[in-house]
Amino acid sequence: MEVNGAVLQELLERMNLLCDNFVDGDGEVATVPYSLSQLLEIAVTHKSSSLNINVGSAPALRINGVLSLVESAPLSGSDCRKLLSPVLTAHLKSQLVKSGHAQTCVAGSGTGFKVNLFLERGNLCASFKRLRIDIPKLETLGLDVAFVEKILEQPTGLILLSGLPRSGKINTLAALISYLNDTRLMRIVDLERPIQFWHENRSSTILQREIGLDTPSFASGIKQAMDLDADVIGISELPDREAAALAIRAAVSKKLVIAVLDATSSVQSLERLVSSFSEGESRRYLPVLSNALRVVIHQTLVNRNDNRGVIPTFEILANNDPIRAQLKDGKVDQLDRLMREGNMQTLGKSLSRLVSIGLVAEDEAKRYVSDPEEIKVNKDPLVAAATAPLTENGQAETSADDMDVSDTPLMSWL
């Protein structure tokens, strides 16, 4: 259907007028005595998970799941526009006009907030959801710091974090990025959908970019990260062939790439990666992948024996010469055998340690392995942690009973 130029111009003028009204209103005077930054500070002080601003109600905080009003006086349309004007960019105004909804992230009082702007009966409103800052430590997750140091010694390559959905992979990604932030001077580009943790710059500079908000796709985000002088690229998922190919290329272009992939095991994560390429592409990418890969860390959540939620257990596939040769030829089906021959940490070994130190019941552990004989319980407390810490090749080194789990909050890895 052909659109008349005059009609289109009129529509554009109406859109611009509506955008202006988001800020200017209709002459109504704002009387609100506080600012958005003050409200965000109150939200942080009271450990609120969200802040809601809408016409006809006072600003409301959600504290421990319960709504609490900041004051009794309801907000007018002008009050809402005044409060929200600091975050309302021209791009967001345009999004509101098109769809009645827009998203962004803002910083406030030492943390970050995910902002959902929306229209309600023509009025500008918003919900601020506080991003998590309780980034887990590697020790709490059960990843040995010495092992992590070894796999991070080389500043380039590909680290894959795999697991089923909601197995805590994003928490592990955040923990690794936080560790780098504490110990290295680097530029880290973290690509997420959506942003879940708020990272503050410490030793490193962290650029958190949300897919769909700051960049159109994971593929475009990886391309742009290469131009942003990134030392490290964190990727919360590899949804397609293009993103996978770009991640591999970045890993051999003097970047350290830490990418998350849904899979049922460390070997299956590589099968998924390889199968995303056509036969012709595989001949080109498999040699590159075999050289770029540093380690696959596969994560599974199991129920704790003390009824305090879940605990992660890790399978470690570390790249070495035999694995590199098989992966180069696309013989991924041989990798499970090579893991066992190389004495790497299998899921059975990791579960056996947790059973031996009393954190997981033996029957619970056997649910996660194909052969119940893989669960070998050692009742000697001096050697109960036989699978950790690990060497650079993912092998058991010495006993260690130092997993910091006693104060871990319920379901903190979800």
DSSP letters, 294-307, are: EEEEEEEEEE-TTS
Interval 272-312: pLDDT, tens: 999 999 988 998 999 999 999 999 999 999 999 999 999 99
pLDDT value, residue 30 = 81
Q: What's the DSSP call for residue 85?
A: G
The rounded distance, in Å, linking the Cα atoms of 291 and 289 is 5
- Of the chain, the percentage scoring pLDDT greater than 90 comes to 72
Q: What is the pLDDT of residue 139?
A: 87
Under a CB-based contact definition with an 8 Å cutoff, are residues 395 and 375 in contact? no
Count Cα neighbours of 6 within 13 Å in the Cβ-side half-sphere: 0
DSSP annotation of 395 reads B
| Fold for the domain defined by 138-374 | Rossmann fold (3.40.50)
Sign of the CA dihedral with 232 first, then 236, 237, and 243 last = negative
Q: Of 259, 261, 265, 243, nearest to 294 (Cα)?
A: 259
Both tokens of residue 209?
């970019």
Residue pLDDT, tens place only, 210-222: 998 899 999 999 9
Closest alpha carbon to 273 in 155, 161, 192, 154: 161
Instruction: Report phi then psi at 357, rounded to 5.
Output: -95, 10
pLDDT for position 22: 53
Residue 7, number of CB atoms within 10 A of its CB = 9
Domain boundaries, the chain: 13-130, 138-374
**Dihedral angle sign, alpha carbons of residues 356, 358, 364, 365:** negative
Residue pair 236/208 in contact (Cβ under 8 Å)? The answer is: no
Q: Note the CATH architecture for domain 13-130.
A: 2-Layer Sandwich (3.30)
The per-residue pLDDT of the chain, averaged, comes to: 87
Report how far apart the first and last C-alpha atoms of the chain are (Å, whole number). Answer: 49
Q: In this model, does residue 234 exceed pLDDT 70?
A: yes
Q: How high is the pLDDT of residue 400?
A: 32
> What does the alpha-carbon distance between residue 49 and residue 152 come to, in Å, rounded to a whole number?
34
Rounded to two decimals, the pTM is 0.81
